């Protein structure tokens, strides 16, 4: 049957998603907080440090809403052929250390990319008690072998890295078990842990979650651009361009703008792994 195109425009939910302070701490550790210096980033990694108030990294909101709820019924295709393509996050207020939200999910479009299909999904999360909007996130996934159905292709939004040296360069050596820790935050896709499943997708070994690279990038930019103050972060966009193997170094190049920064994340070989980045601060 392949990919079911009747899913376009379908909204599912609301369902509830709850989290605790421990969940937020685990997420922070999953994207490397405190990994290089356990006495740094204590606002993200502890809840009981003297004179330090726990803060929740904004990108925690993505696994919070994207993993859970009703199973996605998208048709019949090999899930090993699905890879993450793009991710965007918009925050309306800081995520509290614990809470409950109501989540809705909508498939907004399916685009023919020739060798595959690009499926875009939007999620919204509202506070379960007050109804106040907390965040929205948009993800796109590429499904190999599901293209060729026709339709007009969207024009890519223009993005060009500034022709000057970056204002910020931040490095992070991922751990060889980074994916095994990150998967505990909710993304149990076996592409990141099961060698046989990864081989079906064309990879020599399990790869790091794109959202781990995304979260690590956000953490580095938060520390560099806001001094660790998550209340100043309003959003982040990026496109995944190359798989990352656990243990690889990630290097973020950022160019300051009036709204925050443009960025690219590269691996230790200099190849761009997260491109067309925009990081928004208040």
Residue 112 is among the residues annotated as catalytic for this protein: no
In sequence order, what E strands does the chain have? 2-3, 11-19, 75-76, 82-91, 99-112, 116-127, 133-144, 168-173, 233-240, 249-257, 260-267, 272-281
133 is catalytic: no
| Preceding omega of 58 cis (within 30 degrees of 0) | no
User: Cα–chain-centroid distance for residue 31?
Assistant: 11
Q: Is the dihedral of CA 211, 217, 219, 221 positive or negative?
A: negative
Which of the 8 DSSP states describes residue 173? E
Residues near 13 by beta carbon (within 8 Å), at least 6 away in sequence: 69, 70, 102, 103, 104, 105
Beta-carbon contacts of 103 under 8 Å, excluding residues fewer than 6 positions away, are 13, 14, 15, 16, 17, 65, 68, 69, 123, 124, 125
Distance CA 179, CA 14 (A): 29
Catalytic residue among 84, 126, 192, 237: 192
Please answer whether residues 74 and 135 qualify as being in contact, where contact means their C-beta atoms are separated by less than 8 angstroms. no
Question: Active-site residue among 187, 209, 237, 253?
Answer: 187
* CA 196 – CA 191 distance, rounded (Å): 9
Active site residues: 187, 192
């Amino acid at each position: 049957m392949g990919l079911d195109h009747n899913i376009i425009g379908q909204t599912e939910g609301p369902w509830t998603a709850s989290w605790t302070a421990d969940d937020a701490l685990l997420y922070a550790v999953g994207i490397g907080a405190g990994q290089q210096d356990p006495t740094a980033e204590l606002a993200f990694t502890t809840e009981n440090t003297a004179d330090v108030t726990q803060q929740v990294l904004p990108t925690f909101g993505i696994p919070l809403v994207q993993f859970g709820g009703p199973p996605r019924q998208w048709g019949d295709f090999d899930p090993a052929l699905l890879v993450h393509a793009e991710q965007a996050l918009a925050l309306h207020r800081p995520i509290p250390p614990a809470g409950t939200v109501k989540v809705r999910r909508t498939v907004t479009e399916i685009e023919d990319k020739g060798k595959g299909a690009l499926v875009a999904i939007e999620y919204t999360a509202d506070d379960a008690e007050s109804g106040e909007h907390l965040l929205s996130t948009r993800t796109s996934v590429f499904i190999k072998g599901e293209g060729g159905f026709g339709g007009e292709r969207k024009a890519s939004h223009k993005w060009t890295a500034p022709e000057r040296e970056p204002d910020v360069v931040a490095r992070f050596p991922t751990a060889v078990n980074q994916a095994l820790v990150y998967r505990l935050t909710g993304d149990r896709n076996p592409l990141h842990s099961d060698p046989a499943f990864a081989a079906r997708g064309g990879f020599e070994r399990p790869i790091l979650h794109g959202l781990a690279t995304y979260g690590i990038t956000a953490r580095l930019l938060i520390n560099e651009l806001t001094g660790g103050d998550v209340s100043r972060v309003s959003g982040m966009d990026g496109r995944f361009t190359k798989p990352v193997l656990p243990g690889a170094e990630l290097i973020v190049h950022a160019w300051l703008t009036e709204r925050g920064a443009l960025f690219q994340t590269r691996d230790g070989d200099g190849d761009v792994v997260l491109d067309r980045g925009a990081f928004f601060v208040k």
